[in-house]
Amino acid sequence: MTTDDSGSDAVEEAPEPPDTFEDTIWPDVNRSLTAVDVRPERSTLDLIVHIPRADVVRGLGMLKNAEALKFDYLRSLTAVDNEADGVDVVYHLYSVPNNINLTVKTTLANDDKVVETASNVWQAANWLERETAEMFGVTFTNHPDPRPLLMPEDVDMSDTFPLLKSHPFAEIDILQGEQLGYDRDADEGD
Amino acid sequence: MVVEASTPFEASEFETQDLLINVGPQHPSTHGVFRMVLEIDGEVVKDLVPYIGYLHRGAEKLCENNDFRQGIGYMDRTEYLAAHNAELSYVMAVEALAEIEVPERAQWIRMILCELNRISSHFMFLGAFGVDVGVFGTPFIYAWRERETVIDLFEEISGDRMMYAYFRAGGLAWEVPTNFVERVQQVLKSARQGVKDFDGLLTENEIFIARTKGVGVISAEDAIEIGMSGPSLRASGVPLDLRKTEPYLYYDQLDFEPITAEGGDVFDRYLVRLQEISQSIDLIEQCLDRLQDGPIVPEKMPRMLRLPEGEVYMRTEAPRGEYGVYMVSKGGNKPHRLKVRSACLSNLQALKQMSVGQYVADAIIILGSIDIVLSEVDR
Amino acid sequence: MSTEIFGIEDVNVWVDALIRVLLVVGFMTVVVMGLIWIERKVLARFQQRLGPTRTGPIGLLQSVADALKLVGKEDLRPRNADPWTFELAPYLVFIPVFLGFVIVPFVLDWQIRILELGLLYFVAVSGVNIVGWIMAGWGSDNRYAMIGGMRAAAQGISYELPLVLSLLAVAMVVEVPGTDASAEAARGSLNLNEIVASQHEVPNIVWQPLVTVVFFIAALAELNRTPFDIPVGESEVVGGPFVEYSGIRWSMFFLAEYAALLIMALVFAAVFLGGWAWPFGIWMDDAPPRWAQALVVAGKASLFIFLVIWVRASVPRLRIDQLMGFSWKILLPLMLVQVLVNGLVLVYDWPEIILTVVGLFGIVALFAMVERAVRHPRPRPMTAAQLQGEAAS
């Protein structure tokens, strides 16, 4: 797919008029999100909207049910660690009947990484949130099954969040076998 | 012959206990290192809990610490059966952020290689699925015969049978061999015969139909709700094919329709994949007709890629579904965040819903029909 | 007491029995190893590969190599396995199969023992190995083994009925050529020797085509072979009841399976294809040389074995409920009808061509019933919605 030239210029010469996002799906989105504080942003390919944490799940529900939008397919749910600026939870939405895309972002502060679960809106969010929770330390309240997805279940990894930038890239201190108390010398009989 | 549905299966007079069976992680039929715990009552599955993560290698973190060219190798390994498609998403994401224009010849060759990879991946599915259903070995060997022809061709092109690292941001790593078109024609001829063999062996077989029809049904609404994609979704009747709905490369110039089926059961998932092989053969021929000479990388290609700030969610239609790469760049030569949207992970979520209430033997077949490859589930 | 064997007069009965047993065991082991080789080669050819090629010329010594390896393996027993059940199970599977050899007619007038109730003995003895399977499954202290054992028992018992009825149907109408010229030809015999002899003009497959087909299917199920190999379904329960056995014990199961295949093949050749009597014709005096007879019997048994391997290479596995439904709801009724028709032919002395016609109709009916069962399957035991109160977690 060639890059999306969505109308805004990369070259800055004269001050340009403020972007009204009229040529995207923003007007419909804005109309559907009632009583939600939302801010749009352009990006390569899709439109991004930023919704504050307290309203995000409510907003997602509205986006799913809105007649003009019908975002019934949750493509992807993940998080981005912006270090000092907090953690962004990102939802990529798609509408099967209307063939439109939307990205929804919400920002969580580093000391308060809590947001409501989206699995009541789409079942697809279930496993995706489990993975985001264990990788970034985000707590999704009211999640039906808050177990780790990819991390081992026999070792306690509840304070290790691998995808955070603060987690080191090199060796991890958790070894298998020796630190788990498996004693090679104890003979178990034949 | 048709028996009325008798009284529901209840533990009435006896105190019976449900049996907890652990399938995997080492097991001949789970396609990779996968574990599921089944709670069965007699032969009926009452609950299914999957455990994944045995193959988690931290591909996303690795990509965040390596630059944009080194990441291609990691993408191969997240989906080793359809590596070209995995590389394609990544490379297209980089090109979108860096606004690189890819020459035409490179795009056509990319399409041909991705469709060839789809053929080999679907043959792999047919082989493994035949083993699951119980035909000892014969479909497996047929599948391998076809895969060998495709993989030999890939080895001639990129030097590797499985992890190609052949796509680059901007085009291809090097030019294809001079006999590329003839070799592809040979592969297509053999693949056509392979499809006929499989069709003759399995599609009309009474026992195969009895085993797979009506088993593991998922409706279109449930499939969309749970986020399935690819042939598993199309078998439920949803004509969602990313090559048609959000065309990338030059798929909008080609003439094809997404293949769907009505029932959403195991047989339909098998049939959709079998027909997609024929569709891919047809698409490759259309691409070969349009292939022209030309450069394979743009003229001014920087050696070290530094991308501006931005983010993109680039999705393509891999053989197993929607393989998406969400890349966030904050300047510099490494991605700030790389998320691989795995088709198999989303498809696997539906396993419990499809299997509960069926027999144990069917749970294995349903798992096979979703066609997962664990490296993509776990990354 | 004394008896004669191979023309040597006045041999002690016990010595005579010992000689016969040793002959059988020796013959059996060699033939079974050859049979394993044949299966691997033929199966490989169906799958476009070669099979064993390196051990010995064209891989002939592969079975020997496997046997040597198995003999040298450690004899493991799971800690919580019940010792008696676990260790006796292989014997209970292995011995009844060998006992079945007693009545198989190889050539004219030479069997281990000619029994008047040969077929009854055969059926009775071949049912005992089901007990062995259950013992193996339960004694292994392994869930997969137990599931496999239960499945094997259910399947074995279900398919005994069509098997027995098919043999009964044949035994009913067998016309024993009387040695006494004045007596009328008697009808009905369980003596395998007489059954073979009665086919000196026409093999039983002509008069009883449906019965042949049903016997073939029931034999596949008794042998736990594809499409009825769900107890040992490799991709599911990984070997079924035998998953915890290793070394010699496992090889006993393996040998028993192939020995059973061999016996079924020989019984099939004897009962349905005419054994040593067809196409040679004639009873005692003008019998062709023994080696020719043995060759013919071997050829007919090979046909059965080839068909079994062919089916294995081509057909998926039936699920346990489909398998049981097939036996109880399709094969059993057809066999009951067939027995009824045979009885009518016996009583009213109708021409035997009626049997052929009925049999052919029966085969058509079999296919029709299978087709209908496939296109209209039973509803599921429960719906997913009944089991889960809410959506998947």
Q: Does C391 touch chain A (CB under 8 A)?
A: yes
Q: Does A103 touch chain C (CB under 8 A)?
A: no
Backbone φ, ψ for residue C181 (5° rounding) = -65, -25
Q: Are residues C129 and C44 in the same domain?
A: no
Residue numbers in A near C391 (CB within 8 A)? 123
DSSP B359: B
Structure tokens at A41: 């942003």
Angstroms from C81 CA to nearest CA on chain A? 14
Mark yes or no for CB contact B357/C379 under 8 Å. no
Mark yes or no for CB contact A169/B65 under 8 Å. yes
What residues have CB less than 8 Å from C112, skipping those under 6 apart? C20, C24, C101, C102, C103, C104
Residue numbers in B near A162 (CB within 8 A)? 58, 61
Q: Are residues C158 and C48 in the same domain?
A: no
If DSSP states are collapsed to H, E and C, what string results for B330-357?
Answer: CCCCCCCEEEEECHHHHHHHCHHHHHCC
Task: Find the residue in A nearest to C79 (Cα).
Answer: A190
Q: Which CATH class is domain B58-378?
A: mainly alpha
Mark yes or no for CB contact B1/C376 under 8 Å. yes
Mark yes or no for CB contact B361/C236 under 8 Å. yes
How are strands ordered across the β-sheet holding B310-318?
Answer: B310-318, B321-329, B337-341
B171-172 and A73-81 beta bridge pairing: unpaired
Mark yes or no for CB contact A122/B225 under 8 Å. yes
What residues have CB less than 8 Å from A83, skipping those under 6 apart? A165, A166
The closest alpha carbon to B379, from B160, B125, B74, belongs to B74
User: Helices (DSSP H) in B136-291: which residue ranges?
Assistant: 138-158, 180-198, 206-212, 220-226, 231-234, 242-245, 266-290
Helices (H) and strands (E) in chain B, counts: 15, 8
Residue the block writes with tokens 């769900």: C230
Q: Are residues C101 and C64 in the same domain?
A: no
C103 and C112 in contact (C-beta within 8 Å)? yes
Q: Does A142 touch chain C (CB under 8 A)?
A: no
What CA–CA distance (Å, rounded) separates C319 from B58? 40
Residue numbers in C near B28 (CB within 8 A)? 234-235, 238
If DSSP states are collapsed to H, E and C, what string results for chain C?
Answer: CEEEECCEEEEEHHHHHHHHHHHHHHHHHHHHHHHHHHHHHHHHHHCCCCCCCCCCHHHCCHHHHHHHHHHCCCCCCCCCCCHHHHHHHHHHHHHHHHHHHHHCCCECCECCCCCCCHHHHHHHHHCCHHHHHHHHHHHCCCHHHHHHHHHHHHHHHHHHHHHHHHHHHHHHHCEECCCCCCCCCEECCCCHHHHHHCCCCCCHHHHCHHHHHHHHHHHHHHCCCCCCCHHHCCCCCCCHHHCCCCHHHHHHHHHHHHHHHHHHHHHHHHHCCCCCCCCCCCCCCCCCCHHHHHHHHHHHHHHHHHHHHHHHHHCCCCCHHHHHHHHHHHHHHHHHHHHHHHHHHHHHCCCCHHHHHHHHHHHHHHHHHHHHHHHCCCCCCCCHHHHCCCCCC
pLDDT top residue among C274 and C263: C263
**CA dist B120 to A64, B85, B123, B328, C377, Å?**
37, 12, 5, 32, 33
pLDDT number for residue B153:
92
The distance of Cα B223 from the centroid of its chain, to the nearest Å, equals: 17
What is Dmax (Cα atoms) for chain A?
84
The chains found to touch A (3+ Cβ pairs under 8 angstroms) are B, C
- End-to-end, the C-alpha distance of chain C in Å comes to 77
Residue the block writes with tokens 């676990």: C86
Find the helix packing angle between B138-158 and B180-198, rounded to 10°.
170
pLDDT number for residue C182:
43
Name the residue ranges covered by the structural domains of chain B.
Answer: 58-378
Structure tokens at A16: 């340009």
pLDDT top residue among B10 and A130: A130
What is Dmax (Cα atoms) for chain B?
80
Find the helix packing angle between C129-139 and C247-271, rounded to 10°.
160
Number of B to C CB contacts under 8 A, please give it.
135
Angstroms from B56 CA to nearest CA on chain A? 7
What CA–CA distance (Å, rounded) separates B113 from B155? 12
CATH for A26-180 (3.30.460.80, 3.40.1160.10, 3.40.50.1360, 1.10.510.10): 3.30.460.80
What CA–CA distance (Å, rounded) separates A129 from B217? 26
Angstroms from A34 CA to nearest CA on chain B? 24
Q: Residue C52 belongs to what domain range?
A: 1-72
Residue C194 pLDDT > 90, yes or no? no
pLDDT in tens, C275-314: 777 776 655 556 667 777 788 888 888 999 999 999 888 8
Mark yes or no for CB contact B310/A44 under 8 Å. yes
Task: Find the residue in C nearest to B362 (Cα).
Answer: C319
What CA–CA distance (Å, rounded) separates C99 from C130? 15
- End-to-end, the C-alpha distance of chain B in Å comes to 48
What CA–CA distance (Å, rounded) separates C198 from C174? 6
pLDDT number for residue C286:
60
pTM: 0.83
A27 and A66 in contact (C-beta within 8 Å)? no
Q: Are residues C10 and C111 in the same domain?
A: no
Dihedral of CA atoms B29, B35, B39, B43 in degrees, nearest 10, equals: 0
Interface pTM, i.e. ipTM = 0.84
pLDDT top residue among C248 and C387: C248
B247 and B214 in contact (C-beta within 8 Å)? no
Q: Are residues C173 and C280 in the same domain?
A: yes
B50 and C392 in contact (C-beta within 8 Å)? no
What CA–CA distance (Å, rounded) separates C312 from C306? 10
Residue numbers in B near C238 (CB within 8 A)? 27-28
* Cα angle B144, B148, B150; round to 5: 120
Q: Does B28 touch chain C (CB under 8 A)?
A: yes
pLDDT in tens, C28-57: 888 888 898 999 999 888 888 888 888 888
How many other C-beta atoms are found inside a 10 Å radius of the C-beta of residue A156?
10
How many other C-beta atoms are found inside a 10 Å radius of the C-beta of residue A129?
26
Q: Does C384 touch chain A (CB under 8 A)?
A: no
pLDDT in tens, B342-378: 999 989 999 888 888 888 878 888 888 888 888 888 8
Q: Are residues C216 and C136 in the same domain?
A: yes
Angstroms from B357 CA to nearest CA on chain C? 5
What residues have CB less than 8 Å from B285, skipping those under 6 apart? B188
Residue numbers in C near B349 (CB within 8 A)? 392
pLDDT in tens, C57-83: 888 888 888 888 888 888 778 887 788
Q: Does A169 touch chain B (CB under 8 A)?
A: yes
Number of A to B CB contacts under 8 A, please give it.
98
Angstroms from B347 CA to nearest CA on chain A? 9
What residues have CB less than 8 Å from C327, skipping those under 6 apart? C158, C159, C161, C162, C218, C221
Q: How many separate domains does chain C show?
A: 2
B244: three-class secondary structure by DSSP: helix
Average pLDDT over residues C247-269: 86
Residue C358 pLDDT > 90, yes or no? no
What CA–CA distance (Å, rounded) separates B379 from C23? 61
pLDDT in tens, A21-64: 777 777 777 878 777 778 888 787 888 888 888 888 888 888 88
What residues have CB less than 8 Å from A174, skipping those under 6 apart? A155, A157, A160
**CA dist C379 to B262, C115, C322, Å?**
19, 48, 12
Residue C85 pLDDT > 80, yes or no? yes
Q: Are residues C68 and C92 in the same domain?
A: no
Angstroms from C316 CA to nearest CA on chain B? 4
Residue C50 belongs to some domain of the structure: yes
C316 and C227 in contact (C-beta within 8 Å)? yes
Angstroms from B339 CA to nearest CA on chain A? 7
Q: Does A141 touch chain C (CB under 8 A)?
A: no
Residue C185 pLDDT > 60, yes or no? no
pLDDT in tens, C320-330: 888 888 899 88
B358 and C380 in contact (C-beta within 8 Å)? yes
What CA–CA distance (Å, rounded) separates B249 from C360? 60
Q: Are residues C180 and C107 in the same domain?
A: yes
Residue C387 belongs to some domain of the structure: no
Mark yes or no for CB contact C391/A145 under 8 Å. no
The closest alpha carbon to B106, from B262, B246, B354, B299, belongs to B299
**CA dist B156 to B152, B166, B287, C353, Å?**
6, 12, 20, 66
Residue numbers in B near A75 (CB within 8 A)? 227, 313, 315, 322, 324, 341
What CA–CA distance (Å, rounded) separates B180 from B351? 41
DSSP B166: -
The chains found to touch B (3+ Cβ pairs under 8 angstroms) are A, C
Residue C36 belongs to some domain of the structure: yes
Residue numbers in C near B219 (CB within 8 A)? none
Residue B284 pLDDT > 70, yes or no? yes
Interface of B with C in 116-135 (CB under 8 A): 130-135
B6-37 CB burial, b ≥16 within 10 A, e <16: eeebeeeeeeeeebebebbbebebbbbbbbbe
pLDDT in tens, A96-155: 888 888 898 998 888 888 888 888 888 888 899 998 988 888 888 888 888 888 887 777
The closest alpha carbon to B339, from B326, B349, B355, belongs to B326
- The domain boundary, picked from C39, C72, C105, lies at C72
Q: Does A145 touch chain C (CB under 8 A)?
A: yes
Strand partners, A76: A92
What CA–CA distance (Å, rounded) separates B17 from B359? 17
Interface of A with B in 100-159 (CB under 8 A): 101, 103, 122-124, 126-128, 148-153
Residue C384 belongs to some domain of the structure: no
Average pLDDT over residues B186-193: 91
B184 and B153 in contact (C-beta within 8 Å)? yes
Q: Are residues C2 and C124 in the same domain?
A: no
pLDDT in tens, A173-183: 555 555 555 55
Structure tokens at B89: 């998403």
Task: Find the residue in B nearest to C375 (Cα).
Answer: B210
Interface of B with C in 130-169 (CB under 8 A): 130-138, 140-142, 145
**CA dist B361 to B48, B216, C239, Å?**
13, 11, 14
Nearest to B9 among C49, C381, C384 (CB): C381
Mark yes or no for CB contact A76/B341 under 8 Å. yes
As to burial, measured by CB atoms within 10 angstroms (0-12 exposed, 13-18 middle, 19+ buried), residue A37 is: exposed
- Residue B29 banded pLDDT, cuts 50, 70, 90: low
Mark yes or no for CB contact B361/C319 under 8 Å. yes
Name the residue ranges covered by the structural domains of chain A.
Answer: 26-180
